[in-house]
Amino acid sequence: MSHEFDYDLVIVGAGVGGHGAALHAVSCGLKTAIIEAADMGGTCVNRGCIPSKALLAASGRVRELRDAHHLKSLGIQLGSVEFDREAIANHANNLVSKIQGDLTNSLKRLGVDIIRGWGKIAGTQKVSVTTDSGEKTITAKDIILSPGSVPFVPPGIEVDGKTVFTSDQGVKLESLPDWVAIVGSGYIGLEFSDVYSALGSEITMIEALDQLMPGFDRDIAKLAERVLITGRDIETHVGIYAKKVTPGSPVVIELANFKTKEDVEVLEVDACLVATGRIPATQNLGLESVGVELDRRNFIPVNDSMAVLSAGEVVPHLWAIGDANGKMMLAHAASAQGIIAVENICGRHKEVDYHSIPAAAFTHPEISYVGMTEGAAKEKGSAEGFEVATAKSYFKGNSKALAEGEADGMAKVIYRKDTGVVLGVHIFGIHASDLIHEASAAIANRQSVHTLAHLVHAHPTLSEVLDEAYKRAIAS
CA distance 147 to 292: 16
CA distance 297 to 295: 5
The DSSP code sequence of 56-77 is HHHHHHHHHHH-HHHHHHTT--
Using a CB cutoff of 8 Å and minimum separation of 24, what contacts does 285-294 make? 285/12, 285/120, 285/121, 285/145, 285/147, 286/120, 286/121, 286/122, 286/128, 287/121, 289/121, 289/122, 289/123, 290/121, 290/123, 290/124, 290/315, 290/318, 291/315, 292/318
CA distance 69 to 82: 18
> 112: which DSSP letter?
P
Q: Which residues contact 253 (CB under 8 A, 6 or more apart)?
A: 181, 206, 242, 244, 245, 246, 266, 267, 268, 269, 272
How many angstroms separate the Cα of 174 from the Cα of each of 58, 161, 171? 15, 10, 8
Q: Which residues contact 208 (CB under 8 A, 6 or more apart)?
A: 239, 240, 241, 258
> 148: which DSSP letter?
-
CA distance 307 to 315: 7
CA distance 103 to 41: 7
Residues labelled catalytic:
459
Given strand 271-274, what is the order of strands in its sheet? 164-166, 271-274, 179-183, 202-207, 234-238
The kind and range of the H/E element at 366 are: strand 366-371
The kind and range of the H/E element at 127 are: strand 126-131
The closest alpha carbon to 411, from 434, 383, 387, 388, belongs to 434
> CA-based Rg of the chain, rounded to a whole angstrom?
24
CB 224 within 8 A of CB 255: no
Please, where are the H alpha helices in 124-257?
A: 167-170, 187-198, 218-224
